[in-house]
Structure 1
Amino acid sequence: MKQLRARADFETARIQAFLRDAGSVLRGDTRPLLSFDEVRRAARLEGQSYRGLKDVPIADIRGSVGRPNDFDASFLPVKPQMRKRWEQLDAAMRRGEAVPPIEVYHLGDVYFVKDGHHRVSVARRLRWATIPAKVIEVKTRAPLTGDMNAAALLQAKEYVDFLERSQLDRVRPQASIAVSRLGRYDRIFEDILGHRYFMGLQQYREVAVAEASASWYDNVYKPIADLIREYDILSHFPGRTEADLYLWVTARWLELSRTQKPAGPAEAIADILFETEGTAATAPSPQVLAVLKRWLGPPRRVIELPARLIRRATAPRPGLDGGSPPA
């Protein structure tokens, strides 16, 4: 009887997999299992450690090591040749027989199955909440979340490349620079290079990129990010990040410089604040500027960008000229 039930379970699971795949194609939202190899290449592995035997939430198992095409994103079987092994496990697990723990890699908040794909598939079908697993914790250079689609993996790779060049995570481990669009890490790295250039002029020496990255973070990025948080500017722009607005603020700062208006991070943020409130024609009051400058610190802490970057940043760009933040 249980064998017949196992066969029915397998057929139902395959039909569900087909219907979900068909629906995903029609919606243009195809999301297979995450591939551990692809994620590893994008996010750059830094090390791993064995964390022992744990009960792992099945809902957090979203990836596979070596078999991302054998199951759909919900771990439903997609190939008919998987029937025998799947049905055997289904019958055994329905009888309450003990099955060996699966083996998983844990990256960020996602688990990748190294061994035990069929067990996970059957457990999901039987509505288990957790499953025993031997867990190997993996550290990556770029942070990972459960929503790792192709664009997110590209962004993770861009972040890793940015960290490789800037060494920011080595000199400021607490720094987390997140952007919402591809291509923005290159622009942030240009700011670091500009900062490095003027540090060299001021100090009459060659400045290492890592040293410049630390100084840029302490004296340019973090003060602006603190202001963005203090005045809750992100609440006006859902879906944007502090780094997105940092780029917008620095572009506005340079735009104000070009028009011969008082210019600096505080003035740029004040201009944005007044603009988002619909009062762009009203000049920021000295009191507002004083408060903003108090949070930013004295102007000597900020090193200006070289002229070539000013020309590049003030050239017309979608989303950076006018009243809208980067898209």
Structure 2
Amino acid sequence: MSTGLPREDAKIAFDRERRRRVLARLAARMRFEPDDVSHMLPFDEVVAALGATSRTDLGEQVIDLDSIVGTVDRRRGEFDRDFRPSPGTRGRWERIAEARKRGEAMPPIDVFRIGDLHFVRDGHHRVSVARALKEKDINARVIDVRTKLGAGRELQMADLPLKRHERVFHERVPLPPALRARIELSDEWRYAQLATLVEGWGYRVSLERERVIPRRELGVLWYTEEYEPIVNMLREAGLGGGGTETERYLRIAMLRFLLLQTHDWSDEIAEKLAGEVASPSSASEKDTMTHQIIKELRD
């Protein structure tokens, strides 16, 4: 609702957005969400996690305001992820809002693009005011940043450690896009465990075939000769516990080595592992890692 006075409307709009920010934070606390859910994503940390490969200047474009979720160098806390303002931004925020109410044009903002996300280099207040005015898009000068991993609009600060380990895994175990999409873990440290298992498997295969196998070839060999057959058998046998197919594979692969000191796979080995899960030996119960894996297999 407008008073017809641009300066007064700007003050009202700022106070409204401040209330919305406070209420959103209160609602998040009541839902027991972590504090960083409402924080703008820091560009440098996202790039470090996803791994930048190139930059391309795309010039001026119209971009979706909802796709702007991060910042390049703004002090964290001046705006939240939805660009609702803090008290310290009032003066400049209201001047821009008043100018917009008077119908004045604004210069384009400057952003970096990663996948579907945009990170503001210059124009934080303009973005905040535009969102407060219920606009859907904004003019921006865009620099596209290509990364080794993609990022969707659901990306949160808490996801960055997992993304970093996922990226490192795919550097150690290169796979074609269709295959790498099948590798999915919910714990960042398990990507490191899986990469170590794959590299160990590759070392043994290289010895058997009496040649050094390049990483890209090795990744596909591991997937087709080790990973996929075991995943299919686990699915048919109803073994492996909950979670993704990769988590089920990793549990069995680690348990196979911890209990049987082998990386081979056969009907006999599968039977022994199934028996161990059903009735763990005393040695399994004493070994913390083995016990945890068996517990996950049963859940």
> Does 2:127 match 1:127?
no
Instruction: Name the structure 2 match of 1:83.
Output: 90
Distance 1:108 1:257 in 2: 44
Q: Any residues of structure 2 matched to 1:153-168 within 5 Å, and which?
A: 153-164=160-171, 166-168=172-174
User: What is the deviation of 1:246?
Assistant: 2.5
Report the CA distance shift for 1:108/1:221 in structure 2 as closer, same or farther (over 3 A): farther
SS at 2:267's partner residue?
Answer: coil
- Contact 1:256–1:262 (CA under 8 A) maintained in structure 2: no
The TM-score with structure 2 as length reference comes to 0.77
Report the CA distance shift for 1:212/1:263 in structure 2 as closer, same or farther (over 3 A): farther
Distance 2:251 2:128 in 1: 46
Instruction: Name the structure 1 match of 2:82.
Output: 74
- Aligned match of 1:116 in 112, 120, 123? 123
Distance 1:59 1:142 in 2: 21
Instruction: Name the structure 2 match of 1:48.
Output: 55
Report the CA distance shift for 1:35/1:145 in structure 2 as closer, same or farther (over 3 A): same
Report the CA distance shift for 1:41/1:261 in structure 2 as closer, same or farther (over 3 A): closer
Report the CA distance shift for 1:50/1:263 in structure 2 as closer, same or farther (over 3 A): farther
Instruction: Name the structure 1 match of 2:159.
Output: 152
User: What is the deviation of 1:46?
Assistant: 1.0
Show structure 2 runs of 5+ residues with no match: 279-286
Instruction: Name the structure 1 match of 2:281.
Output: none
SS at 1:183's partner residue?
Answer: helix
- Contact 1:53–1:133 (CA under 8 A) maintained in structure 2: yes
- Aligned match of 1:262 in 262, 267, 270? 267
SS at 2:139's partner residue?
Answer: strand
- Aligned match of 2:218 in 191, 200, 212? 212
User: What is the deviation of 1:251?
Assistant: 4.9
Identity rate of aligned residues, in percent? 29
Instruction: Name the structure 2 match of 1:7.
Output: 11
SS at 2:188's partner residue?
Answer: coil
- Aligned match of 1:21 in 21, 25, 28? 25
Report the CA distance shift for 1:78/1:321 in structure 2 as closer, same or farther (over 3 A): same
Distance 1:264 1:48 in 2: 50
> Does 2:254 match 1:247?
no
Instruction: Name the structure 2 match of 1:285.
Output: none
User: What is the deviation of 1:145?
Assistant: 2.6
Distance 2:260 2:288 in 1: 10
Distance 1:86 1:226 in 2: 58
Deviation string for 1:95-143 (max 9, x for gaps)? 3332122222221222111221111101111111222222222111223
Report the CA distance shift for 1:320/1:47 in structure 2 as closer, same or farther (over 3 A): farther
What letter matches 1:29 in structure 2?
P
- Contact 1:256–1:263 (CA under 8 A) maintained in structure 2: no
Instruction: Name the structure 2 match of 1:291.
Output: none
SS at 1:185's partner residue?
Answer: helix
- Contact 1:251–1:314 (CA under 8 A) maintained in structure 2: no
SS at 1:168's partner residue?
Answer: coil
Report the CA distance shift for 1:257/1:19 in structure 2 as closer, same or farther (over 3 A): same
User: What is the deviation of 1:203?
Assistant: 1.8
> Does 2:38 match 1:34?
no
Distance 2:258 2:266 in 1: 9
Number of residue pairs aligned between Structure 1 and Structure 2: 276
What letter matches 2:119 in structure 1?
F
What letter matches 2:253 in structure 1?
T
> Does 2:190 match 1:184?
yes
User: What is the deviation of 1:51?
Assistant: 3.0
Supply the RMSD in Å over aligned alpha carbons.
3.6
Distance 1:322 1:33 in 2: 35
What letter matches 2:245 in structure 1?
E
Report the CA distance shift for 1:253/1:58 in structure 2 as closer, same or farther (over 3 A): same
What letter matches 1:212 in structure 2?
L
Report the CA distance shift for 1:120/1:223 in structure 2 as closer, same or farther (over 3 A): farther
Farther-moved stretch of structure 1 (16-25 vs 194-203): 16-25
What letter matches 2:292 in structure 1?
P
SS at 2:146's partner residue?
Answer: strand
The TM-score with structure 1 as length reference comes to 0.71
